[in-house]
Amino acid sequence: MSSTTPGRGVSRRSFLALSAALLAGALRPLRVWAREWDQVAFDARNVNDALKSAGIVNPTPSTDIVIKAPEIAENGAQVPVDILSKLPGTDIVYIFVDKNPQPFVGSFDFMNGAEPFISTRIKMGETSNLRVVVRAGGRHHMATREIKVTIGGCGT
Amino acid sequence: MAEPIRMRVKLEGDVADVRVLIGHPMETGLRKDPKSGELVPLHFIKSVTATLNGKPVLAAQWSQAVSRNPYMQFRIKGAKANDEIGIEWVDNRGDSNRASAKVPAAG
Amino acid sequence: MATATVRAPRFRPLADGSPRAWQRLALAAGALALTGLCAAASSTPEQDRQRLVEFFAGRFPGVALEDYVYGAMIASADARAQYEQIMEFPPFLNDIEAGKKIWGTPFRNGKRFADCFPDGGRNVAGDYPRYDDALGRVVTFEGALNLCRQTNGEPPFAYGERQPMGVLIAYARTLSDGMRMNVKVDTPAARARYAAGKDLYFRRIGQLNASCAGCHVHNAGNTMRMEIISPALGHATHWPIFRGGEELMTFQGRFKRCMEQMRAAPYGYDSEEWNNLEYFLSYLSNGIPLKASVMRK
């Protein structure tokens, strides 16, 4: 039997499966505070499904989400992105790449003093919007940035 | 035998700036091995957690779209010299690795 | 480091990859031959180098000589910013570390690579390639590493392979980071090899009848097939590269790729042709500080 946490779209079954795997592995005491694994969101093949499955509904566009990313990615395999949320009460940052085969790239939960800032490197298959959603004060906010990805003739 | 986790920690006032480079192939399952012509199976880190003196500060869920030999930089307010930053990851095969580093004196 | 304000050359598509476009390039290369930038057999290597530096100073005003280590990125602040972000903590550190291990592993006779070079192999890469009188040929840095192995009773590493030679130089060349390229062309025999390399560089080759110089001298900074063409100046200074942060490529590995793209049958690794070409190109980059194991797109 499976039940879903309201607005999250994650099945209890997959959560338990992951928890069992993790308990068998290394993260024993830490899992008590982690959110359930967003498997359904990760599996989604279009960004609207991914957003919905991640429990993101009607995110408000925000200029308080600062994205630093290239205009034209030198290589789609290693695209550096920096995200800073100036929204008070930010506790989660979600990253999507609209045109990736699976748009949901990852989420970052901040707690116990971690600042709502993350810098990482992601894969992009083609020119696409980078879509950042922030949960702050229980509400969702969003900003996007187009990143061009080319495969040049001499690059191959 | 997991590849190394490299950590660089700086203290700026009371904020620890942490940069992490994790050795991991982060295979998407869509890449063909150039020698065999076979698809290299999906193999990627699913979750990364960071702690400060054992207390969780960051919990990340990743897909295979995070780059190979993944990089992450984050900041923790309220840190001081000699605090311990821990990093741990688990991948889709159930493999894991962990590392830790001390916060140096403010520089 | 200083970031020069670059007035980026106006990018216009030079060629769309069609054969007609390549013919235009070939004509440009021919025109170039007449400008005196290259042709005269009587010009010395130093005259060639100075003419090239002046040519590029006109093309990329405000770019300091040492910035030519950044290649095509001198023409794109966006590309340069990504490079800096990646290079601050590059994804290929494991490869460099693998190379460090090979560098430090003793041969069966107990000697190590470091014993074959002055100062333990620090600040030596800029002296290569060099013309070896005794061997009667140009020796590259990789060639010197293999000579070291052979002198110590070990079989040579294959060129053009990621392991072990690629990762070895990914580490070993970093010991010369910051060293200014310092290639010598001092004797008639050495000059003959330099001239052979130069001749290949300006020669139209392959099915597209294009020359290296046609792109990398005359059209550096312009766009072709959505790529900014990198200048010849500085080309020899930044190897090996990690394309996309992942694919290790050596300088001669790049010759191979380029010749294939020019639809010319490539020469081989450590061939006379490529060693002479590397010799010529390295001389042209004299004075530019080296940087090994870098990110490229």
pLDDT digits (tens, 9 = 90+) for C257-290: 999 999 999 999 999 999 999 999 999 999 999 9
Strand segments, DSSP code E, in C133-282 are 137-139, 223-224, 227-228, 241-243, 247-249
Q: A78 and chain B: CB distance < 8 Å anywhere?
A: yes
Strand, helix or coil for residue A68: strand
Strand, helix or coil for residue C36: coil
Task: Count Cβ atoms below 10 Å from residue C141 Cβ, excluding itself.
Answer: 25
Once rounded to an integer, what is the mean pLDDT over residues C110-121? 98
Pick the residue from chain A with its C-alpha nearest to C86. A80
If you write DSSP's letter for every residue of B40-77 in order, what string do you get?
PPPB-EEEEEEEETTEEEEEEEE-TTBPSS-EEEEEEE
Say how far apart CA C86 and CA C124 lie, in whole Å.
26
Inform me whether the pLDDT recorded for C25 exceeds 70. Answer: no
Inform me whether the pLDDT recorded for C294 exceeds 60. Answer: yes
* Tens of pLDDT, residues C125-151: 999 999 999 999 999 999 999 999 999
Strand, helix or coil for residue A111: coil
Which of A147-151, B62-66, C60-64 shows the lowest per-residue confidence on average (mean pLDDT)? Answer: A147-151
Distances (CA, A) of C155 to C108, C145, C146, C149: 11, 11, 8, 6
Grade residue A1 by pLDDT with cuts at 50, 70 and 90. very low
In the structure encoding, which two tokens stand for residue C247, read together?
């694919």
**What domains can be seen in chain B, in order of their start residue?**
5-102 (2.60.40.10)
Which of A3-17, A62-76, C224-238, C264-278 shows the lowest per-residue confidence on average (mean pLDDT)? Answer: A3-17
Q: In the prediction, which pLDDT does A36 show?
A: 77
Q: A109 and chain B: CB distance < 8 Å anywhere?
A: yes
Cβ–Cβ gap C82/A121 under 8 Å? no
Q: In the prediction, which pLDDT does A38 show?
A: 83
User: What are the residue boundaries of the structural domains of chain A, listed by start?
Assistant: 1-37, 46-149
Once rounded to an integer, what is the mean pLDDT over residues C171-199? 98
If you write DSSP's letter for every residue of A112-135 in order, what string do you get?
TTB-SEEEEEE--SSSEEEEEEEE
Contacts of A36 in chain B (CB under 8 A): none
Once rounded to an integer, what is the mean pLDDT over residues C84-110? 98
What is the average pLDDT value for chain C, to the nearest integer? Answer: 90
Grade residue C2 by pLDDT with cuts at 50, 70 and 90. very low
Which 8-state DSSP code applies to residue B87? E
Smallest Cα–Cα separation from C209: which of C38, C41, C12, C20? Answer: C20
Inform me whether the pLDDT recorded for A118 exceeds 70. Answer: yes
* Tens of pLDDT, residues C151-169: 999 999 999 999 999 999 9
Residues with Cβ within 8 Å of residue C13, at least 6 apart in sequence: C222, C223, C224
Pick the residue from chain C with its C-alpha nearest to A119. C85
Helices C188-202 & C19-34, crossing angle to 10 degrees?
140
User: Would residue C293 count as lying in a domain?
Assistant: no
Q: How close does chain B come to A64, measured CA to CA in Å?
A: 18
In the structure encoding, which two tokens stand for residue C59, read together?
């093309």
- Among A38, A115, A122, beta carbon nearest to B65: A122
Once rounded to an integer, what is the mean pLDDT over residues C110-138? 98
- β-pair partners for B86: B51, B100
Q: A152 and chain C: CB distance < 8 Å anywhere?
A: yes
Chains contacting chain A through 3 or more C-beta pairs under 8 A? B, C
Once rounded to an integer, what is the mean pLDDT over residues A115-144? 97
* Tens of pLDDT, residues B25-81: 999 999 999 889 999 999 999 999 999 999 999 999 999 999 999 999 999 999 999
Once rounded to an integer, what is the mean pLDDT over residues C1-18? 43
Strand, helix or coil for residue C226: coil
Say how far apart CA C66 and CA C237 lie, in whole Å.
10
Q: What angle do CA C92, B27, B72 make, to 5 degrees?
A: 50
Q: In the prediction, which pLDDT does C35 show?
A: 46
User: Would residue C140 count as lying in a domain?
Assistant: no
Once rounded to an integer, what is the mean pLDDT over residues C213-225? 93
User: Would residue C108 count as lying in a domain?
Assistant: no
Q: How many domains does chain C have?
A: 1
Q: A120 and chain C: CB distance < 8 Å anywhere?
A: no
Q: In the prediction, which pLDDT does A6 show?
A: 40
Q: In the prediction, which pLDDT does B107 show?
A: 75
Inform me whether the pLDDT recorded for A7 exceeds 60. Answer: no
Q: For chain C, how many helices (H) and strands (E)?
A: 10, 8
Which of A10-19, A73-82, C12-21, C182-191 shows the lowest per-residue confidence on average (mean pLDDT)? Answer: C12-21
Q: In the prediction, which pLDDT does C225 show?
A: 80
Q: List phi, psi (to 5°) of A133.
A: -115, 140
Cβ–Cβ gap C245/B69 under 8 Å? yes
Once rounded to an integer, what is the mean pLDDT over residues B3-8? 96
User: Would residue C144 count as lying in a domain?
Assistant: no
The residue count for chain B: 107
CATH number of the domain where residue C214 is located: 1.10.760.10
Pick the residue from chain B with its C-alpha nearest to A112. B57
Cβ–Cβ gap C91/B6 under 8 Å? no
Q: How close does chain B come to C91, measured CA to CA in Å?
A: 5
Smallest Cα–Cα separation from A124: which of A105, A108, A106, A143? Answer: A105
Grade residue C216 by pLDDT with cuts at 50, 70 and 90. very high
Mutate to test the interface with A, among C25, C73, C82, C83 (most CBs of A within 10 A): C82
Mutate to test the interface with A, among C16, C85, C86, C258 (most CBs of A within 10 A): C85
Q: In the prediction, which pLDDT does A152 show?
A: 59
Q: In the prediction, which pLDDT does A4 show?
A: 38
Task: Count Cβ atoms below 10 Å from residue B3 Cβ, excluding itself.
Answer: 13
Inform me whether the pLDDT recorded for A142 exceeds 50. Answer: yes
- The gap between the terminal CA atoms of chain C, to the nearest Å, is 22
- Into which CATH architecture does domain A46-149 fall? Sandwich (2.60)
Q: In the prediction, which pLDDT does C93 show?
A: 97
Chains contacting chain B through 3 or more C-beta pairs under 8 A? A, C
Say how far apart CA C162 and CA C204 lie, in whole Å.
30
- The pLDDT > 90 percentage for chain C reads 83
Strand, helix or coil for residue C201: helix
Q: In the prediction, which pLDDT does A154 show?
A: 55
Once rounded to an integer, what is the mean pLDDT over residues C63-83? 96
Say how far apart CA A70 and CA A62 lie, in whole Å.
20
User: Would residue C207 count as lying in a domain?
Assistant: yes
Range of the domain at C186: 17-88+182-232+251-288
- Among B49, B57, B66, beta carbon nearest to A113: B57
The structure tokens 């050495």 sit at: C190
- The pLDDT > 70 percentage for chain C reads 86
C215 is catalytic: no
Grade residue A35 by pLDDT with cuts at 50, 70 and 90. confident
Cβ–Cβ gap A72/C78 under 8 Å? yes
Helix (H) or strand (E) holding B17: strand B15-22
Say how far apart CA B88 and CA C182 lie, in whole Å.
46
